[in-house]
Chain A
Amino acid sequence: MIPYLEKRAEHSQAMVYASPFIALCLTLLAGTLLFSLLGKNPLQALYAFFVAPLTSAYGWAELGVKAAPLVLIGAALSIGFRAGVWNIGAEGQLTLGAICGGSVALWFYEVDSVFVLPLMMASGVLGGMLWASIPALLKTRFNANEILTSLMLTYVAALLLSLLVHGPLRDPDGFNFPESRIFSDSAMLPILWSGTRLHLGALFALAAVAGIWLLLSRTLIGFQVKVIGQAPAAGSHAGFSVNRIVWFALLLGGGMAGLAGLFEVAGPIGQLLPSISPGYGFTAIIVAFVGRLHPLGSLFAGLLIALSYLGGENAQIALNLPIAVTGVFQGMLLFFLLACDVLIRFRIRIRPVPGLRHG
């Protein structure tokens, strides 16, 4: 008996949706094995990782806090990935959004007005777009690979932020610590659920999911994204402009990442720090793929990955596990997902041992 892969006549729609769940089960299995090898009780560890964080209302609110940037960026990135525009630099665009929005907050530090926050959000979006427009320009003018340019700009953005909080944006009363002032109240996001950190960004993430869903399923530009991603020649025959889609995808991804960055500094953090994100921009790539490049999928995947952040922290506290376990879980999930995706186009068959066949 030899198992082998047989190509399906049409690719399986059922597997498109089942694959993330199979991948999740395999991740849990591998996690069990991993915890056993580390000498921990696997059930206890999995409980600490996946269940314990959600046993309190505060935990659920924290889930929303972590999921908001992931969903916001993941849903926007999925548009680009569908069009074959590989924006890997959302982390840098997020940083620029935080810098631009945060600068506005610091500029209007003394001003108490309802217009400060909307102005910050607009600057955050523009900052992210500005950063994403660099790979877009390089791609459309010089055919430079956007994977490389957008990724490298991430490190430039991180250094820029570091430069600013060590210099011009440093808190004048902050004993030379590399931090900005703590934002004034009018520059802080409203809290949705008092007693927690759940902020306005969560609603924006939901709105982004709905908006991007509508964009993808109902609008001409969403249709162009799908066509150019799947068959560029058909797009050219139809007269769709590839350059336009490159710009659109990068600006949308950059804008949403910038907004997410602003939400981080105007929400949970409340000031500019040398490091403002635990890699949300990169993790959002996993969110987009686990979510099947569908905005609603990004919502669920964002919540799942957010849970892995919380679970990692909790496992660190409760079981003394290294924080790297979070990254390992996220990595395994993506790994198993990509492996399971083979089953969309193929199915597993069992072949009898050769030689037993009758002619």
Chain B
Amino acid sequence: MTRSFPGLLANDRVDLVLNAGEIHALLGENGAGKSTLVKMIYGVLKPDAGRIFWKGRETAISSPAAARGLGIAMVFQHFSLFDSLSVLENIALGLEVAKARDNLSERIVEVSRKYGLPLDPRRHVYTLSVGERQRIEIIRCLLQDPQLLIMDEPTSVLTPQEVDVLFGTLQRLCDEGMSILYISHKLDEIKALCRQATILRHGKVAASVRVQGETASSLAARMIGQELKTVNLSSSGSRGDVRFAVDRLDYPAADQFSVSLKQISLEVRGGEILGVAGVAGNGQDELLSALNGEIRTTPASAIQIDGQNCADLGPDQRRNLGLASIPSERLGHGAVPGLSLTENTLLTAHERMDFVRLGFINYGKSAKFGCQVIDDFDVKCNGVQSEAGSLSGGNLQKFIVGREINQTPSVLVVSQPTWGVDAGAAQAIRLALRRLAETGTAILVISQDLDELIQISDRLSAICSGALSPALPTLEVTLEQVGLMMSGVNLSESMHAA
């Protein structure tokens, strides 16, 4: 299969063979061409060249409906569900044949029981967790009796327990003869689940291998074309004083789609990275906004930066006290896509780096700062005047992280530092955070990537329904404990009891 976009050859003569009853991994960094390939298989994109054989017969798949007609189903990474409708209504809306709606409720219950996907058809979607929402999508697919199920990064939003449930389901489907094309970054999952793997790099097949004969690091090496530099946790030296403290912070949700923060307390010392794990939608966005001042919280004495109270200050004033933050959404929140990198440095650095005099901007100074960030963090772009939106996700993220780090903040709050970023850039960002901590900065990392948190944080806590668990030293905590913390069980009480 070959497919190009303006200025990019996304798939270059890619071959892929899937057998019946096989879980086949499609592996690759961001931008390697996985989505393009899958979209061609699912009929969303038309290939420029190449042929698809379905059960031995050459087939043209002109639309997603045609793909579903053949028996190909897909669970997307981003769900297309109506929050205000029930599970049953959502599934009924997705069905193309009206007749299929007969006894739908019973059939949903039957499928969910058979494959271990507990789901109540009468529940409204906005009351469901992300894992439960994913089950809706899977059941929607299974109701069509597919022979090929495509899953796009299904575990990126799940707790370890939910992942186990999902893997059990996939194994059962595969035993019944269904083929599954499993797209993921996560190498240990692929080791656990898949038999065969096709690895893409820069739009070409880098390797097609049996998973059994590979280790996670050999797969990673094939994927990124180089060995991963691992972050050395033990190198972090002594801890300083508490630089960032939050005491019983409350924030009532603005509407039914946001999460209330309840009695959040935390402390981060200089030189320390505190990790906050949690499944998406448990208050991570609200936590970041509450800490950096984008939303106001109570009580007025809840947040302290280096001992100075800042709970009634706005984001710019907190920044002047030394608190930098990096939101999870790069485009439109951390950076303005239509403005140049020079202009994007102004967003958070204009006061701390003294770019403005009497209301006038010194663009020379900000461009110099931007160039420094580009150099220091190896940002690939056409210079400091290129639009932020023209950079790839990983490079823009490196730029945003670098913009904050080069201001030498005393406290850094960062959400999803490597979300949607390729493995090489992710590793560079984690190293940069670790190095910043070693200069004495207190860092709070909010992330859904548990491996990442275990790799870089000194202490680990988790957020669940807007409440934050007490933090535990990362080296002492087990994966199961984190899973429990993520589902809201208070571990420290049981540990104190022991």
Contact = CB atoms under 8 A, between A and B. Distances in A.
Interface of A: 6-10, 218-221, 223, 226-227, 230-231, 233-234, 236-241, 359
Contact of A236 (B51, B315, B343, B356): B315
B334 A234 contact: yes
Given A231-B337, A238-B315, A220 B390 contact: no
Contact of B5 (A9, A218, A233, A237): A9
A230 B338 contact: yes
Contacts of A241: 314
A237 B403 CA distance: 14
Interface string B19-57: 000000000000000000000000000000111000000
Contact of A239 (B7, B317, B343): B317
Interface of B: 5-8, 49-51, 292-294, 314-317, 319, 325, 327, 329, 331-339, 343, 346-348, 350, 356, 359-361, 363, 387, 389-390
Contacts of B361: 218-220, 223
Given A219-B359, A359-B50, A227 B314 contact: no
A223 B343 CA distance: 8
Given A223-B346, A226-B339, 6 more contacts: A218-B361, A220-B350, A226-B343, A234-B336, A237-B325, A237-B333
Contacts of B319: 239
A236 B294 contact: yes
Interface centre among A10, A221, A223, A240 (most CB of B within 10 A): A223
Contacts of A230: 336-339
A227 B348 CA distance: 12
Contacts of A240: 316
Interface centre among A226, A230, A231, A359 (most CB of B within 10 A): A231
A238 B333 contact: no
A219 B315 contact: no
Contact of B333 (A6, A8, A221, A233): A233
Contacts of A231: 331-333, 335-338
Contacts of B356: 220
A219 B333 contact: no
Contacts of A236: 294, 315
Nearest to A227: B336
Q: Which 9 A-B pairs have the closest CB atoms?
A: A239-B316, A239-B315, A9-B6, A238-B347, A231-B332, A233-B333, A231-B336, A9-B7, A234-B336
Contacts of B350: 220
A1 B6 CA distance: 20
Contacts of A233: 327, 329, 332-333
Nearest to A6: B6
Contacts of A6: 6
B415 to A, nearest CB: 11
Nearest to A232: B332
Nearest to B333: A233
A97 B357 CA distance: 33
Given A237-B348, A239-B319, A219 B325 contact: no
A237 B294 CA distance: 6
B335 A219 contact: no
A236 B331 CA distance: 13
A237 B7 CA distance: 32
A80 B432 CA distance: 40
A75 B336 CA distance: 24
A234 B335 contact: yes
Contacts of B292: 237
A218 B355 CA distance: 11
Contacts of B347: 227, 234, 237-238
A359 B347 CA distance: 49
A72 to B, nearest CB: 22
Nearest to A236: B294
Contacts of A220: 346, 350, 356, 359-361
A10 B315 contact: no
A359 B1 CA distance: 10
Nearest to A219: B359
B360 A218 contact: yes
A239 B314 contact: yes
B327 A10 contact: no
B121 to A, nearest CB: 35
Contacts of B50: 359
Nearest to A233: B333
A347 to B, nearest CB: 9
